[in-house]
């Protein structure tokens, strides 16, 4: 009997891994979503992300529930693009439909840390931005959405940058070339990628604040 149990477990366990079911949802501002369920790949967990963007004295939260690669779990940090600043946190769990709650956005420090990066004002990307908190990298992005192209540059936390490609997260109708780099004013060149998911909040802020 024990042998039969072991054999059945060996046969069923991989199937259980490949069928981890998670909630999927994207909420932006006051617009709630209709929550759906999704079967995730074996290498991913259930994840929940909250990104809070501050611009023009207003705050907008973008909240996401979905499957999440393990490399993206437990990350938190901030991204300052000059006109807007986004603080984000990602949490994960590994049981079916466990991503019920959204995480609370991390506290965002406004204390300058001495690092400087280029930022954009419209099409002019020659302005210099003072980074703050744990923003120890520069970021450069070129986003295309709805037939429009938007260039954004600024400061970002190392924890939000990844050495992997950004295709683990995509947004419908949005394509982007995004890179992080070390060193003052280094963000005129490309190096490592950052998840496209983290650009959702700044894109929403651009749409709402302009």
Angle at 50 between CA 49 and CA 54, to 5 degrees: 150
Mean pLDDT of 9-32: 65
More confident: 111 or 191: 111
The CA–CA distances, whole Å, from 53 to 130, 137, 206 equal: 18, 18, 10
* Cα distance between residue 177 and residue 166, in whole Å: 9
Q: What is the pLDDT of residues 124-151, one digit of tens each?
A: 899 999 999 989 999 998 877 777 888 8
Domains and CATH numbers, the chain: 21-209 (2.10.60.10)
Residue whose C-alpha is closest to residue 167's, from 178, 180, 182, 155: 178
Average pLDDT of the chain to the nearest whole number: 77
More confident: 77 or 5: 77
Query: How far is C-alpha 56 from the geometric centre of its chain's CA atoms?
Result: 22
pLDDT at residue 165 is higher than 80: no
pLDDT of residue 14: 42
pLDDT grade for 108, boundaries at 50, 70 and 90: low
End-to-end CA distance of the chain: 68
Mean pLDDT of 178-192: 78
Provide the percentage of residues in the chain whose pLDDT is more than 90.
Answer: 30
pLDDT of residue 56: 81
Q: What is the pLDDT of residues 190-199, one digit of tens each?
A: 444 455 445 5
Q: What is the pLDDT of residues 56-100, one digit of tens each?
A: 888 888 899 999 888 888 888 889 999 888 888 999 999 999 999
pLDDT of residue 136: 93
* Cα distance between residue 165 and residue 16, in whole Å: 27
pLDDT of residue 199: 53
């Amino acid at each position: 009997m024990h042998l039969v149990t072991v054999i059945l477990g060996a046969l069923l366990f991989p199937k259980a891994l490949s069928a981890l079911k998670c909630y999927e949802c994207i909420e932006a501002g006051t617009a709630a979503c209709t929550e759906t369920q999704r079967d995730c790949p074996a290498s991913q967990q259930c994840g929940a992300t909250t990104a809070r963007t501050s611009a023009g004295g207003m705050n907008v939260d973008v909240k996401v529930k979905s499957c999440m690669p393990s490399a993206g779990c437990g990350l938190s940090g901030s991204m300052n693009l000059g006109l807007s600043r986004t603080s984000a946190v990602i949490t994960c769990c590994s049981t079916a439909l466990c991503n019920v709650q959204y995480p609370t956005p991390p506290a965002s420090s406004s204390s300058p840390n001495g690092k400087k990066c280029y930022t954009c004002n419209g099409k002019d990307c020659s302005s210099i931005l003072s980074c703050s908190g744990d923003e120890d990298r520069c970021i450069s992005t070129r986003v295309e959405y709805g037939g429009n192209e938007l260039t954004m540059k600024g400061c970002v936390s190392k924890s939000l940058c990844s050495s992997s490609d950004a295709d683990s997260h995509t947004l419908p109708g949005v394509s982007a070339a995004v890179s992080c780099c070390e060193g003052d004013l280094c963000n005129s060149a490309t190096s490592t990628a950052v998840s496209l998911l983290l650009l959702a909040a700044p894109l929403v802020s651009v749409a709402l604040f302009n």
